[in-house]
Amino acid sequence: MGGLKYLCYVLLGPMIFFTFCLHATMAGKVLVFPVDGSHWINMHVMIEGLHARGHEVTVVRTSTSWYIKESSPHYKSITVTLPEAVFIEDPDFFVSFLSKMLEINRQGGSPLAFMKFLWEMFTTLAKIHQQASQLVVEMFENKALMEELRATHYDVALIDPGIPAGVLVAHKLELPIVFNVRWITSGEGHFVVAPSPVSYVPTSGCAVSNQMTFGERVKNALRYIINVCSDHFIVTPPYNALMARYFGPDANFYHLLQGVDLWLMRVDFVFEFPRPTMPNIIYIGGFQCKPAKPIPAELQEFVDGSGEHGLIVMSLGTLVKGLPIDITSEIAAAFAQLPQRVIWRHLGEQPSNLGNNTLLVKWLPQNDLLGHPKTRLFVTHGGTNGVYESIYHGVPVVGVPLLFDQFENMLRLKVRGAAKIVDVATLDSQVFLTAIQEVLHQPSYRDNMQRLSRLHKDRPMHPLESALYWIEFVMRHKGAAHLRTESYKMPWYSYHSLDVVGLLLAVLLTLVGVVVLIVRFLSLRLCRRQKPKLE
Amino acid sequence: MGGLKYLCYVLLGPMIFFTFCLHATMAGKVLVFPVDGSHWINMHVMIEGLHARGHEVTVVRTSTSWYIKESSPHYKSITVTLPEAVFIEDPDFFVSFLSKMLEINRQGGSPLAFMKFLWEMFTTLAKIHQQASQLVVEMFENKALMEELRATHYDVALIDPGIPAGVLVAHKLELPIVFNVRWITSGEGHFVVAPSPVSYVPTSGCAVSNQMTFGERVKNALRYIINVCSDHFIVTPPYNALMARYFGPDANFYHLLQGVDLWLMRVDFVFEFPRPTMPNIIYIGGFQCKPAKPIPAELQEFVDGSGEHGLIVMSLGTLVKGLPIDITSEIAAAFAQLPQRVIWRHLGEQPSNLGNNTLLVKWLPQNDLLGHPKTRLFVTHGGTNGVYESIYHGVPVVGVPLLFDQFENMLRLKVRGAAKIVDVATLDSQVFLTAIQEVLHQPSYRDNMQRLSRLHKDRPMHPLESALYWIEFVMRHKGAAHLRTESYKMPWYSYHSLDVVGLLLAVLLTLVGVVVLIVRFLSLRLCRRQKPKLE
């Protein structure tokens, strides 16, 4: 029976794949607008999938792209040269941005520090979107390019709306749009398209859980207001200016986003807190995860040497070249005191106090290492990719969040008892060591992460298959109008039924008024009749 | 290549099935609380599926059950005898209920008729739930039965919450709960568990689309208020009384419903308007649909005789024994003028003016007839089962809605251009004939229905497979806590952030007040200083 079961499993995969390939009779054309950095790693997985199914993929990139290569076996590319180099495509930007943020972080939670933080975030956001919107101008003004794009008759635009410039281009080309999304404008994707009661839905940028105290709810609501203002005054103005210029004065950029056909949301509810959603949101959180492959021989030797104590993997992701040397030295000192072996993806200056058990590498096969049976712990900044890979492989986490959503991501794992967070502002070797030892030796961390892993893997279809299925769905049916509401077209007071409530209140008050008048009139009449009797 | 493709398709089905069977190592125990009538037809499909996967199914029925048989190859049953026969399990009830409703309907849309309608609905609802709640008492007071149920260690309770008595029993047995649901308490399932802005979500009982005029929005909001009142004062009181009696004074029946693990919603968005949803809602609309089997020989002969004109199928569902003879005679007269042949599921008095082209039958294989290539049109009351079967097979519809949700169901098909509605109050042979001829001869009806059919069938997994997968998911993981919010536990003013808004307004007003005071103080000081100069 076991052999039969095995045979069945072994045959099933290729059979499904082959049938899918045969099913995809229509080899379509996909126009992709990606975001650079870690987002691209994700998007590339999807592009490989589309390519494998016979679709023709075209990627729009800038000439200063960092991760997105011009030539690839999986896609053709269109390179757009912007008036100035895109600053967020420069790795050095993140080094200086991180050091500013660390500086602010070290000032603790003071209002002044928070104001500084907001100022940094807002000026950066404004600059990012001001630059990104230039992509639209360059493309729209290049008549030959637009003509060529139009003549290609793409079936769908696949866009990471972290940088939403592609939405305008797709709109110009009248293409159905699929988002590969977690972040958009000033926050998480749901906030643009689904009802999001801030009483239990944590706002982007606010590291609170879905069960908040009154104080946390106030904080969450304030952060929501800040995000709405940021959307309104900082992120969308450059795009709205282009909407007015190219689509007329009534065109509304936010409505373009809200009218997108399908949202492939890089979210899974083993990680995200449950919250309202919409029929055109497909959850693909962890779609990049896959079983581990064998690791390279030189690493294998190092890992094998870890014996019963096992391995710790550390990486701070694609954006950050390195932490300041004072912090990395504290980390190195803590690692040196452990019986485990450590593989640490490290760029920048090397700490002098490195233990014999610690191997620094410029790059590591993260998924394969996390899936290695000897791996006991993952030390991460809390980027989405790493978090999902740790969930997939059931490896508990010590988190050192540095920027952006990393604080919220780590909080979600912490609330589930699967991670411990170390504040980089107060990190020293003792604090770091204690955190690591706690996660290594308290079985609850591993048990909880393994439970999340089982829940995450238990789904009818792998999230990548699901993503590809729904992209093809939109290609087949030229959109997915039946899955999306057009409620965003209503005025806000109508959407919230304030006009109806106003009318009903007016009717009610009028009725009450009439009744009061009648009662007063009758009582007056009665009094008049009764008075003579009394006299 | 064609042969290979065919081989692949042929092998894939059994492979997936076999792998599923192997995967479902845990043969579980399912306790089912169904609802009688057409709901049971649905639930039985799910029970057959569970049985085929090796699960042991136990169905709780009353001794007066109408459709739910005591013995079956697919399930064991527990029969509960209630103090009085369940009146909605008596087919004659619906005959008299329908005649009352037709009478009210004929009075047109007058306020008096609407009040009468509400009165009938409310008294019927009150009676239904008063009776149904007795099931809980009978079970709870039967110590031996409860002991036996507890000792059986069920893995999950599968409940149709149209009659939600089973929820209390499952709660007592501490079982995870899966709903097979479209209707619950006073309306559609979403209203209990998902945000439902009445500005674009049609309320149950209100036949409006998702794009409403101001007047329709007022009507929709009023109907929403009526439904909330009906929930509060009519449907839940008997269950809340039992909650207090068996679970203590703080227990809240509505919270039990809102805390259910998984909602298998008998809804698909080719039919329902898009609206907010929740992560623990799985859409299984049309899960009972399947390809047509060959029809019985005697019907086949009749159908073949229809020639190029094809066939019309008519059925008014499981609840209604028959329409009044004056209406059926008008229908028969209209059918007699058509070149098509008609198969009419008809109970009760036979109209005397039946045409030669019309065959009356006591029962018909509805799915097989709708899937027959000669079928041109379906005349239906607009029950959910029939509507989904017509969508599945792409057959356009003439609807004669009579009761309950049938008006809303038909409206949804009409808005999509796939059906024409005939008002039974004004139905005569000419009106009926015109409607039929319009749907037969305007290609848009068939085209639209075929488009809905393509969209409906294009999904990664058949909705029945999906339903079974998620029931087993809940069995495997003993619930689905990570998919459901606990926001219902918040006080309503906290859920809607009214306390936070209150605080923020108070702070804002205080600030404004302080600023005003300072300005007044300063201006007074300035005035005083300036005055001497002026003098």
A100-137 pLDDT tens trace: 888 887 777 788 888 888 888 899 899 999 999 999 99
Query: What pLDDT digit, counting tens, does each position of A45-56 carry?
Result: 999 999 999 999
Evaluate whether A66 touches A37 at the Cβ level (below 8 Å): yes
CB contact under 8 A, A487 and B197: yes
pLDDT for the residue A2: 43
**Distance (Å, rounded) from C-alpha A144 to C-alpha B135?**
74
Please give the average per-residue pLDDT across A468-490, as a whole number: 95
Residue of higher predicted confidence among B98 and B301: B301
Q: How confident is the model at residue A192 (pLDDT cuts 50, 70, 90)?
A: very high
Closest-approach residue (CA) in chain A for B273: A482
The tally of domains found in chain B comes to 3
| Pick from B274, B473, B482: CB nearest A270 | B482
Which chain A residues are Cβ-neighbours of B469 within 8 angstroms?
A: 460
Q: Is A352 on the interface with B (CB under 8 A)?
A: no
Of B48-57, B101-110, B406-415, give the lowest mean pLDDT range: B101-110
C-beta of residue B156 within 8 angstroms of C-beta of residue B175: yes
Beta bridge partners of A184: A187
Is the domain of B483 the same as that of B499?
no
The answer to the question of residue A313 being in a domain is yes
Q: Which residues of B touch A9 (CB under 8 A)?
A: 19
Q: Say whether residue A491 is in contact with chain B using an 8 A CB cutoff.
A: no
Do A12 and B15 make contact, defined as CB atoms within 8 angstroms? Answer: yes
Across the interface, whether the CB atoms of A269 and B483 are under 8 A apart is answered yes
Cβ–Cβ contact A26 with B under 8 A: no
Say if the Cβ atoms of A12 and B16 lie within 8 Å.
yes
Instruction: Tell me the pLDDT band of B38, cut-offs 50, 70 and 90.
Output: confident
Task: Decide: B203 and B224 in contact? Cβ < 8 Å.
Answer: yes
Cβ atoms A346, A361 nearer than 8 A? yes
Residue A501 near chain B (CB below 8 Å): yes
Q: What's the pLDDT tens digit per position in A77-109? A: 999 998 887 777 777 777 778 888 888 877 777
A270 Cβ under 8 Å from any chain B Cβ:
yes
Same domain, B348 and B250: no
Which of 146-165 (A) contact B at CB < 8 A?
none
Tally A–B CB contacts below 8 A.
163
Q: What does the DSSP 8-state code read for residue A403?
A: S
Distance from CA of A491 to the nearest CA of B (A): 11
- For residues A138 and A53, membership in a common domain is answered with yes
Task: Extract the runs of DSSP E, i.e. beta strands, from A119-163.
Answer: 156-159
The rounded distance, in Å, linking the Cα atoms of B120 and B116 is 6
Under 8 Å between Cβ of B401 and B383: no
Spatial CB neighbours of A210, under 8 Å, sequence gap ≥ 6: A200, A201, A202, A273, A274, A275, B485, B486, B487
Percentage of chain A beyond pLDDT 90 is 75
Closest listed residue to residue B37, CA positions, set B6, B5, B68, B13: B68
Is residue B19 a part of any domain in this protein?
Answer: no
Encode pLDDT of B453-507 as tens digits.
Answer: 999 999 999 999 999 999 999 999 999 999 999 999 999 999 999 999 999 999 9
Residues B400 and B251 in one domain: no
Structural domain of residue B498, as residue ranges?
A: 490-522
Per-residue burial over A246-274, b if 16 or more Cβ lie within 10 Å, else e, is: eeeeebbbbebbbbbbbbbbbbbbbbbbb
Chain B partners within 8 Å of A477 (Cβ): 454-455, 458
Q: Which residue of B has its CA nearest to A473?
A: B458
> Among B442, B456, B435, B295, which residue's Cα sits nearest to residue B391?
B456
Question: What's the rounded Cα separation, in Å, for the pair B253 and A424?
Answer: 47
Following DSSP, what letter does each residue of B345-413 receive, concatenated? E--SSPPTT--TTEEEES---HHHHHTSTTEEEEEE---HHHHHHHHHHT--EEE---STTHHHHHHHH
What residues of B are in contact with residue A504 (Cβ under 8 Å)? 218, 221-222
3-class DSSP state of A225: helix
Q: Is residue A497 part of a domain?
A: no
Q: Residue B110 and residue B104: Cα distance in Å, rounded?
A: 9
Q: What's residue B318's pLDDT?
A: 64
pLDDT value for B113: 82
Q: Is B486 on the interface with A (CB under 8 A)?
A: yes
Looking at the structure, do residues A176 and A78 belong to the same domain, yes or no?
A: yes
Does residue A150 fall inside a structural domain?
Answer: yes
- Is there a single domain that holds both residue A246 and residue A319? no
Contact across the interface for B504 and A222, Cβ inside 8 Å? yes
Q: What is the pLDDT of residues A308-343, one digit of tens each?
A: 999 999 998 766 667 888 889 999 999 999 999 999
pTM: 0.91
In a domain, A495, yes or no: no
A199 lies within 8 A of chain B by CB: yes
- Average pLDDT for B355-370: 93
Using a CB-CB cut-off of 8 Å, the residues of chain A touching B504 are 218, 221-222
Is there a single domain that holds both residue B468 and residue B419? no
A492 touches chain B (CB under 8 A): no
With CA atoms as reference, report the closest residue to B376 among B350, B349, B396. B396
Would you call A143 exposed, middle or buried from its count of C-beta atoms within 10 A (0-12, 13-18, 19+)? exposed
Any CB–CB contact under 8 A between A290 and chain B?
A: no
- Residue A518: pLDDT over 90: yes
The token pair that represents A294 in the structure block: 């064998």
B312 and B228 in a single domain? The answer is no
Chain B residues closer than 8 Å to A275 by CB: 279, 485
Q: Work out the minimum CA distance from B405 to partner chain A, whole angstroms.
A: 21
The three-state secondary structure class of A277 is strand
Instruction: Find the angle CA(B254)-CA(B255)-CA(B257) to the nearest 5 degrees.
Output: 65
Token pair 């499993």 is found at: A9
B455: Cβ contacts below 8 Å, ≥ 6 apart: A477, A482, B270
Looking at chain B, which residue has its C-alpha nearest residue A472? B458
Which chain B residue is nearest to residue A6, measuring alpha carbons? B19
Residue B17, in any domain of the structure: no
Claim to verify: residue A149 and residue A19 sit in the same structural domain:
yes
Residues A175, B107: Cα–Cα separation, whole Å: 50
Q: Does B442 lie at the interface with A, CB-CB under 8 angstroms?
A: no
Residue B223 sits in the same domain as residue B352? no
Residue B2 scores a pLDDT above 50: no
Asked whether A308 and A374 are in contact (CB, 8 A), the reply is no
- The CATH number that applies at residue B391 is 3.40.50.2000
Give the best-scoring range by mean pLDDT among B66-70, B82-86, B481-485: B481-485
CB B50 within 8 A of CB B468: yes
Distance CA B475, CA B56 (A): 12
List pLDDT tens digits, range B272-297.
999 999 999 999 999 999 999 999 99
Q: pLDDT digits over B329-350, tens only?
A: 999 999 999 999 999 998 888 8
End-to-end CA distance of chain A: 108
- Confidence class of residue B22 from pLDDT cuts 50, 70 and 90? very low
Q: Are residues A89 and A181 in the same domain?
A: yes
Tell me the average pLDDT of chain A.
Answer: 90
The model's confidence at residue B317, banded by pLDDT at 50, 70 and 90, is confident
Residue whose entry in the numeric block shows the structure tokens 């959850």: A283
Per-residue confidence band for B4, with pLDDT thresholds at 50, 70 and 90: very low
Is B203 within 8 Å of B187 (Cβ atoms)?
Answer: yes
Residues B293 and B289: their CA atoms lie apart, in Å, by 12
Q: What percentage of chain B reaches a pLDDT higher than 70?
A: 93
Report which of B171, B122, B128 is spatially closest to residue B146, judged by C-alpha positions: B171
Task: Tell me whether residues A199 and B469 touch, CB distance under 8 A.
Answer: no
CA atoms within a 13 Å half-sphere pointing along the CA-CB vector of B413:
39
Q: Report the pLDDT averaged over residues A268-285.
A: 97
B200 touches chain A (CB under 8 A): yes
The helix, strand and coil proportions of chain B, stated in percent and rounded to the nearest 5, come to 55, 10, 35
Low-confidence winner among A22-31, A272-281, A460-469 (lowest mean pLDDT): A22-31
The residue written with tokens 């990395």 in the block is A328
The mean of the pLDDT values for chain B is: 90
What pLDDT band is residue B320 in, cutting at 50, 70 and 90?
Answer: low
Phi, psi values for residue B187, rounded to 5°: -175, -160
- Interface probe with A: pick from B1, B4, B7, B8, most Cβ of A within 10 Å: B8
Helical H runs in B142-284? 143-152, 165-172, 190-193, 214-230, 236-247, 253-258
Judge whether B230 lies within some domain: yes
Question: Are B475 and B423 part of one and the same domain?
Answer: no
User: Which band of pLDDT confidence, cut at 50, 70 and 90, is reported for residue B532?
Assistant: low
Answer whether residue B1 is part of any domain. no
Instruction: In chain A, count H helices and then E strands.
Output: 20, 15
Which residues of A, range 89-148, sit inside 8 Å of B by Cβ? Answer: none
Query: Is the pLDDT confidence value at B11 over 70?
Result: no
Which residues in chain B have Cβ-Cβ distances shorter than 8 Å to A278? Answer: 274, 276-277
Q: What is the DSSP letter of A259?
A: T
